């Protein structure tokens, strides 16, 4: 039997240290800890897919909490069933000892309790994700009402750029001279020329 662990945070500026430390303390080897920095809305995650390919019958998968596995209620239930049913591996959730499939093999009551707890926690994980999205949408709407603009600010072109661009557009100077004068690359120059033409048209 091999033991693996899976850690996840939603964004690159979040830290995986707490989860990894818990796995090492549990006894998981460092090279068997798989980590993703990606949303839990689905299971399309690079390291998670690598982990699943490694898992086999009799192995143990350890996670810190159910929301680290994912945040979509139906997907969590389906993935849990795939791991424990189709693959035949066990799952242990460190923050919720009741969610330990190793303890429910010979106990119908234990399995029943584990299934109920899983469904409740999966629902809570998805509900929290939807609440976060709702709060974000509300915050964006409120900011827009106050006149706050989102996205990149429009570029203000210098007089030099406008002059060189006009000369190039009217074929008064060749491309090479325009690039040398502005000290920019061809792709970048073309990008801004297209933007200027759209503004003019």
| Rounded Cα distance, 150 and 48, in Å | 33
Task: Note whether 92 and 62 are within 8 A (CB).
Answer: yes
Task: Note whether 44 and 102 are within 8 A (CB).
Answer: no
Task: Tell me whether residue 107 is one of the annotated catalytic residues.
Answer: no
Q: For residue 21, give the nearest of 36, 7, 9, 10 by alpha carbon.
A: 7
Helix (H, G, I), strand (E, B) or coil at 183: coil
Marked catalytic residue, from 10, 134, 154, 158: 10
- What is the H or E stretch that residue 138 is in? helix 108-145
Q: Quick one: CA dihedral 120, 126, 129, 131, positive or negative? A: negative
Active site residues: 10
């Amino acid at each position: 039997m091999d033991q693996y662990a899976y850690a996840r945070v939603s964004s690159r500026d979040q830290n995986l240290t707490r989860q990894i430390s818990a796995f090492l303390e549990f006894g998981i080897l460092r090279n068997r800890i798989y980590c993703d920095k990606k949303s839990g809305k689905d299971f399309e995650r690079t390291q998670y897919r690598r982990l699943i390919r490694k898992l086999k019958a009799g192995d143990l998968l350890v996670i810190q909490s159910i929301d680290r596995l994912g945040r979509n209620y139906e997907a969590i239930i389906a993935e849990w069933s795939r791991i424990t049913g189709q693959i035949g591996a066990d799952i242990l959730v460190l923050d919720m000892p009741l969610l330990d499939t190793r303890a429910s093999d010979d106990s119908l009551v234990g399995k029943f309790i584990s299934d109920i707890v899983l469904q409740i926690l999966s629902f809570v994980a998805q509900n929290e994700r939807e609440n976060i999205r709702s709060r974000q949408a509300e915050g964006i709407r409120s900011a827009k009402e106050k006149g706050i603009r989102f996205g990149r600010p429009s570029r203000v072109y210098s007089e030099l750029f406008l002059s060189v661009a006009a000369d190039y557009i009217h074929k008064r100077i060749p491309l090479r001279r325009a690039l040398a004068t502005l000290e920019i690359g061809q792709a970048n120059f073309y990008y801004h020329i297209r933007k200027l033409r759209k503004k003019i048209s």
